Chain A
């Protein structure tokens, strides 16, 4: 295949999951020897698209044309065999094995069932040399390598399968500046040899530097195809990413901001965020916008006392907080990012999940007050319109939105006066989202202060009184929500 010829063409690709249409007619055309960039906000469908190409998901409709022929990749192996290699954000390497073993994992040179170590090492060395990294020993343990080294191993693995298209999902997120330069050098080497690269990044300057063409996704659809990566103005790219086609209903609310509840002063954690100061008043909703990895979740957990701060202080109504239990006693609550792994005891009934932070307080002399717990949970189930409202059900049987209501209900039972919500609508379908927005707005109306983190800019803007923008661990902008537009925020975080 000559450079410039189309090797991959997608038309009208659709992928549905229960309650959500993740891809809704995606077009994509990739040529041999080019770096094709995918741009889009969180939830735009980039990850799903990658997984369709990698053979993890089967599209529900649409066509994939690979090397001029209609193709279907039913399994990851099939995609790999056809010559499509994917390098995921979380590199899937085996830390305990050597570089050579990782590169050739699953297709080691064999004779009579025995791996031929010499041939494996020689083959790996040849590939690494092609990548310009012959200093990397095939015998090294992968777990000892830095992130950049692991990425090179992943790329070597892709090449060992004779990949003609390599998909890279935010490869620069874990790299330092110099390492990114090196990554680009490798990518240029690959494309010079006719290999195509699909490159995903939130950093516009990288797309400008390495990219040839850009395709933009929004709400599962292609909003722009084959823009020139070098010359398309930033405003145009951002415009294509914003402006929702699905409109969420944000509740109308009268902002009734009261006295200061939570004050954070100069809070820092090495490598995560630094010098963050903010105040949340009673009845106020403060939204934090920023990309994944900008230190938002870490910030919330540190305020809550789940992580130790390196510097700075957290005050609730003027008093310093001490650990998680101190925070809970002072009226702080956290609905963490990973609902299933951080918030819920899945095998337990709804009411026990709702009283997880209050059952000890309701108990008498160490004996749990089960009926009282049930009543309290039923009250919240009614208030939050939990479906189904049966509080004895196992919480694992609920949908994502209703599970989130259970977590919110937990803090309501505890009379929390400042609730922190980390990605409150992740994994929540469209209908349940509006309900959650109502719940959050309703909380603020009763005088609860809300500090919310979300990757979805419209959500932050639609719900908050005040917006804080975070980038790479720093608070770079603070403003009233009505003073900022979606474009302004995206401009701030990606450029």
Chain B
């Protein structure tokens, strides 16, 4: 909870910076409300992906293929052949492609014993290639009115994309905190061997985690298609890094076993707010990435209780081991 409070403090600071740069805009309550929806709408697709990523990381893995899977699901669901089945067909196609590719990741990692980093890196490359092949490197226009209207419609004043994110996040919170699926995820990420010796089917569950991440990519693909009214093989580039970064600053432990849905969501919103701030202030995007990098480092340092402490305890651990490694580090 403390770390979520720290992230919310970061959001308030960002808001204050915005108000200082553009007092004219931030002075107008109607603009602020609308801008908040803009920020959340921009956070929606990456937010859904980050939630899938959070499960994978808590379970002790990593999924580098999410950006590529979004692109693949996007172009596959907007081919001429798929579009003739209408919105339902396109949504089904995006989800099925995401699920299928996620399952391939999962099978390779859980049953093929590939390291998650390598399996999903291979999927990243292959899925981008397949997406380019399917689309012929062309931007595919979505002709479906329903799909295209998702991004522009509001329900009860709330953008539908934000509602989708909220629904996914709510379901994910329940899944992680209230179901056996979530319990298994935490147990496996915390200590896979202990989970196995307690009778948990570690392999099957690991496979399902990547399938879940794949489905999230399918959902995000529809959201991005709706926003752009088109799809292309180069869509969602570097989403994997944004999703990992958001989960990490949200408090998810990269070594597994710990993480929260709420933390990841706030992490996504922090990044989205920075992007928004730079757009409003008309600042160069190069600087924006530098700021993001700084925030990742800062957030993790705060979570570890500061630079000094963590580095000290790391040295102490090394020392206790009394290993040759340590000796060679010290010896001049």
Contact = CB atoms under 8 A, between A and B. Distances in A.
B178 A356 contact: no
B311 interface: no
B197 A366 contact: no
Given A105-B324, A359-B180, A366-B180, A348 B196 contact: no
A306 B328 CA distance: 38
Interface residues of A, number: 40
B92 interface: no
A387 to B, nearest CB: 22
B304 interface: no
Nearest to B321: A56
B308 interface: no
A304 B327 contact: no
Nearest to B323: A92
A140 B298 CA distance: 44
A24 B331 CA distance: 33
B330 A360 contact: no
A223 interface: no
Interface stretch (A284-292, A337-345, A469-477, A486-494): A337-345
Interface residues of B, number: 31
Interface in B218-270: 257-258
Given A80-B327, A304-B197, A357-B199, A348 B190 contact: yes
Given A324-B196, A342-B194, A348-B187, A367 B179 contact: yes
B198 A410 contact: yes
Nearest to B326: A76
Nearest to A77: B327
B181 interface: yes
A344 B193 CA distance: 9
Interface string B177-214: 01111111011001101111111110000000000000
B322 interface: yes
B257 A334 contact: no
A325 interface: yes
B181 A366 contact: yes
A356 B198 contact: yes
Contacts of A92: 323-325
Contacts of B190: 345-348
Contacts of A342: 191, 193-194, 197
B165 to A, nearest CB: 23
B197 A341 contact: no
Nearest to A306: B197
Interface string A97-108: 000000001110
A21 B201 CA distance: 42
A357 B198 contact: yes
Nearest to A332: B199
Contacts of A197: none
Contacts of A76: 322, 326-327
A363 interface: yes
Interface in A305-346: 306, 324-325, 327-329, 334, 336, 341-346
Nearest to B186: A348
Contacts of A356: 187, 194-195, 198, 200
A341 B190 CA distance: 10
Nearest to A357: B198
Interface string A76-120: 110010000000000011000000000001110000000000000
Given A106-B327, A345-B187, A368-B179, A56 B322 contact: yes
Contacts of A55: 322
Nearest to A76: B322
Nearest to A356: B198
Contacts of B184: 360
Interface string A291-311: 000000000000010100000
A325 B199 contact: yes
29 contacts: A56-B322, A76-B326, A93-B324, A105-B324, A106-B328, A107-B331, A306-B196, A329-B199, A334-B197, A341-B193, A341-B194, A342-B191, A342-B194, A345-B186, A345-B187, A345-B194, A345-B195, A345-B257, A348-B187, A352-B183, A356-B200, A357-B198, A359-B183, A360-B180, A366-B179, A366-B181, A368-B179, A368-B182, A410-B198
Give the 6 A-B residue pairs with the shortest CB-CB distance, closest first. A345-B190, A56-B322, A328-B199, A106-B328, A357-B198, A356-B198
Given A306-B197, A348-B257, A366-B179, 13 more contacts: A56-B322, A92-B325, A105-B328, A328-B199, A341-B193, A342-B194, A344-B191, A346-B190, A346-B191, A347-B257, A348-B190, A357-B198, A363-B180
